[in-house]
Amino acid sequence: MKTEEAIQILKQDGHKYTDKRRDMLNIFVEEDKYINAKHIQQQMDTNYPGISFDTIYRNLHLFKELSIIEGTELDGEMKFRIACTDHHHHHFICECCGDTKVIEFCPMDDIQQRLPNVAINTHKLEVYGICEKCL
């Protein structure tokens, strides 16, 4: 997802456009990996000195609620990345740097066959490890 797409989602849902929100979204688009709230706050502090964690977390919650960003838990803390919207896939996530790699394979057909008497509504597959850069 690009920044303009995310802004359109905000506007369509009746939320106000602000420069802070744009800058926050730009961080996600530029980083294109899982990052934590502290990293976002440090990046935002350059243009918005003293920006509070409350502001960061409020916007993270809103962006996640609108499926603009995705979240995962790494090392006991929530980390976020811009949502992938172009096609269905899963991710390998580096536990050191948060970098992600696309996994094109989806095991849901096999899982549904192995669980024939259940109704699966949604799923999310994440594979964790160490990327080649961090090894």
Q: Please check whether residues 72 and 10 belong to one and the same domain.
A: yes
- What H or E segment, with its residue span, contains residue 90? strand 90-94
Consult the annotation and say whether 134 binds a ligand.
Answer: yes
Per DSSP bridges, beta strands 77-82 and 126-129 are unpaired
Give the domain extent around 47. 3-82
Residue with more model confidence, 97 or 15:
15
Residue 39: CATH number of its domain = 1.10.10.10
Write out pLDDT tens, residues 24-80. 999 999 988 889 999 999 999 999 999 999 999 999 999 999 989 988 888 788 999
Q: Please check whether residues 12 and 77 belong to one and the same domain.
A: yes
Q: In what order do the strands lie in the sheet with 35-36?
A: 35-36, 77-82, 69-74
Q: Please check whether residues 69 and 37 belong to one and the same domain.
A: yes
| 40 within a domain of the structure (yes/no) | yes
Consult the annotation and say whether 61 binds a ligand.
Answer: no
Q: What angle do CA 119, 125, 43 make, to 5 degrees?
A: 130
Consult the annotation and say whether 106 binds a ligand.
Answer: no
pTM of the model: 0.76
